[in-house]
Amino acid sequence: MFCEQCEQTASGNGCHQWGACGKSPQVNAVQDLLVYCLRGLAPVVLQAKELAIATRDADRFTCESMFATMTNVNFDPKRFTVYIKRAIALREELKAQIQQTTNITWSDISNYEPDYTESLVEQGFKYNLELIGKSGTNVDIFSLKLTALYGIKGAASYTFHAYELGQEDEAVYKYVQQVLATIDRSDLSLEDWVNLNLEIGKVNLRAMELIDAGHTSTYGHPVPTPVPLNHKPGKAILVSGHDIKQLAAILKQTVDKDITVYTHGELLPAHGYPKLKEQYSHFYGHFGTAWQNQTKDFAKFPGAVVVTTNCLMPPHEHYEDKLFTLGPVGYAGLNYLPAQEDGGIDFTPVIEKAQELAGFTEESKYKQVTTGFARNAVLGVADKVIDAVKQGKIRHFFLVGGCDGAKPDRNYYGEFVDKVPDDCVVLTLACGKFRFFDKDMGNIAGIPRLLDVGQCNDAYSAIQIAIALANAFEVGVNEIPLSMILSWYEQKAVAILLTLLYLGIKDIRLGPTLPAFLSPNVLQLLSEKYNLQPITTPDADLAACLG
Ligand code: SF4
Ligand code: SF3
């Protein structure tokens, strides 16, 4: 087994025996086989595009199935068999259409046929991702190939979210296919691979922009909204992951069912969308914290639980019968909610499970946090913010965001925010916020000192805020008093990091550890060009940022 796509990777240098995330070598092998089939599908899709043959099904499929191979998304070998068969079927359908106008000799990878009478796991072992670094590839190019593959997984997953919301851009789909078709090339220079990775960052920015457009056009621009952290007596459903569209579908199907709906993990910012809040009075509060605490949170929750996207952990037996997955998410033996012909999901099994379970028997003590400080809300008070900076009331902004995880060294982020001086503002996003999300930090000149911008994909919103501040002060983004203190875990975070580098953002501090897939020379390059650096201690990093 070879996997080093996430921050949790064993001993900081790759999972070789078993995934630290719980992924078995067998599941890893079928994921690698799927990625190999997608690398063979991509040149066919690109050729079809050249000939103006419709490729939308193949593009959407590529994004969904790449998403399924990300960390903590899908552990079910049967689902990967279905994906592999579909990848080959789509490839052959497109080839047949291409064949009608032009005769093409396809390379081996685009002619590959798995043998379904034999174990796909054994066949997957032959297409281990480590092999893209073999046959003379230098270690730095291998590093950049892995960065590209992991980055494009993140960008593809955001593209999946966007198309679910009805937002698509052919240029994004095309680039996803181009990256997949490029992975096996051995004729590109180090500089070519660096540029390809920066282009992934650009395309990922567009994918996040599409999600932002999908969310805001459907549910309105987020507004600062108090979110109860307590619970009310009664039957309950907990919705985890990132998928606001599926949350909305659950809310719609639970109207007048005497069920209260709570969010978990990365769905906390959903409370900021006015159209969801106004329309559904049974959409109440938030339960639990970040993904790595789900074994405790899900076990404690007395209702049904739906995991819509990453991050799913291998479930414990005392809660697995009330746990449901959908879309690209899965785990062998766990309840799966398939999409119907119109693409929608029937949540009846979830509703029945919630009604069967005890629900909350008592009301807990009221406590709240505030979310909804996305770009529209923050830029709506831009004049106030700019005045506060000009008058010296706000000295510095910190964007402390990214993924959470189980490692103890992630305590850094909570300690960092604890130590941020009173004349500074903290913007946050993604599930890393759970290290400090319920901290009362007060406000400066009426501006809260802790602003929750949203989910990880709302990095788009944070970037818009930074650009607007830079414009207001008539300086570049690197000149505004803003420091980025980021935490990463999975491949969506890799894509966002590439976006920030594409935008030329310097001095990012990244932790808790640096990606295992970055070779020493690639790290050196990132440090020289962007001053990307590892986190050290909260005190030292704060002192350096405040200069
Ligand atoms: Fe290891 Fe992360 Fe890969 Fe899981 S996803 S096998 S933890 S590197
Ligand atoms: Fe979190 Fe998985 Fe990355 Fe969306 S939910 S930020 S880790």
Q: Whose CA is nearest to atom 2 of ligand 1?
A: 6
Distance 2 CA to ligand 1 centre (A): 9
Q: Give the integer Cα–Cα distance in Å for 140 and 520.
A: 8
For residue 144, the number of C-alpha atoms closer than 13 Å in the C-beta half-sphere is 26
Mapped onto helix, strand or coil, the DSSP state of residue 20 is coil
pLDDT at 497 exceeding the cut of 70: yes
Domain ranges of the chain: 10-217, 225-356
Distance 430 CA to ligand 2 centre (A): 6
The closest-lying atom of ligand 2 relative to the alpha carbon of residue 309 is 5
Lining residues, ligand 2, CB within 6 Å? 242, 265-266, 291, 310-311, 403, 430-431, 455-456, 489-490, 492-493
Q: Whose CA is nearest to atom 4 of ligand 2?
A: 456
Q: Put the strands of the sheet holding 482-487 in their side by side order.
A: 450-454, 424-429, 396-402, 482-487, 509-511, 533-534
| Mean pLDDT, range 433-444, rounded to an integer | 97
The closest-lying atom of ligand 2 relative to the alpha carbon of residue 291 is 5
* Binding site membership of 9 for ligand 1 (Cβ less than 6 Å): yes
Distance 148 CA to ligand 2 centre (A): 19
Query: Closest-lying ligand to the alpha carbon of 5?
Result: 1
Distance 18 CA to ligand 1 centre (A): 8
Q: Say if pTM beats, i.e. exceeds, 0.85.
A: yes
Sign of CA dihedral 292, 296, 302, 304: positive
Which amino acid, 137? T
Which amino acid, 34? L
Q: Contact at 8 Å (CB) between 316 and 296?
A: no
Q: Whose CA is nearest to atom 6 of ligand 1?
A: 19
Distance 505 CA to ligand 2 centre (A): 22
| Mean pLDDT, range 287-300, rounded to an integer | 97
Residue 11: band (very low, low, confident or very high) from pLDDT cuts 50, 70, 90: confident
Q: Whose CA is nearest to atom 6 of ligand 2?
A: 403
Sign of CA dihedral 226, 227, 232, 235: positive
Distance 92 CA to ligand 2 centre (A): 35
Q: Whose CA is nearest to atom 5 of ligand 1?
A: 71
Distance 455 CA to ligand 2 centre (A): 8
The closest-lying atom of ligand 1 relative to the alpha carbon of residue 20 is 7
Q: Quote the pLDDT of residue 136.
A: 67
Residue range 500-535, pLDDT digits in tens = 999 999 999 999 999 999 999 999 999 999 999 999
The closest-lying atom of ligand 2 relative to the alpha carbon of residue 455 is 4
Strand stretches in 352-449, DSSP E: 368-371, 396-402, 424-429, 443-444, 447-448
Distance 80 CA to ligand 1 centre (A): 17
Distance 522 CA to ligand 2 centre (A): 25
Mapped onto helix, strand or coil, the DSSP state of residue 230 is coil
pLDDT at 8 exceeding the cut of 80: yes
pLDDT at 287 exceeding the cut of 70: yes
**Ligand 1: which of 1, 2, 4 to mutate, judged by most atoms within 8 Å of the beta carbon?**
4
| Mean pLDDT, range 291-315, rounded to an integer | 98
Q: Whose CA is nearest to atom 7 of ligand 2?
A: 403
Query: Closest-lying ligand to the alpha carbon of 15?
Result: 1
Q: Quote the pLDDT of residue 13.
A: 86
Helix (H) or strand (E) holding 404: none
Residue 392: band (very low, low, confident or very high) from pLDDT cuts 50, 70, 90: very high
Distance 407 CA to ligand 1 centre (A): 14
Q: Contact at 8 Å (CB) between 495 and 282?
A: no
Residue range 79-96, pLDDT digits in tens = 999 999 999 999 999 999
Which amino acid, 484? M
Distance 326 CA to ligand 2 centre (A): 17
pLDDT averaged over every residue in the chain: 97
**Ligand 1: which of 2, 5, 488 to mutate, judged by most atoms within 8 Å of the beta carbon?**
5
Q: What percent of the chain has pLDDT over 90?
A: 97
Q: Quote the pLDDT of residue 248.
A: 98
Residue range 130-165, pLDDT digits in tens = 888 776 679 999 999 999 999 999 999 999 999 999
pLDDT at 29 exceeding the cut of 70: yes
Residue range 360-377, pLDDT digits in tens = 999 999 999 999 999 999
Residue 215: band (very low, low, confident or very high) from pLDDT cuts 50, 70, 90: very high
pLDDT at 483 exceeding the cut of 70: yes
Domain 10-217 listed as CATH 1.20.1270.20: yes
* Binding site membership of 8 for ligand 1 (Cβ less than 6 Å): yes
225-356 fold: Rossmann fold (3.40.50)
Q: How many of the other CB atoms lie within 10 Å of CB of 451? A: 25
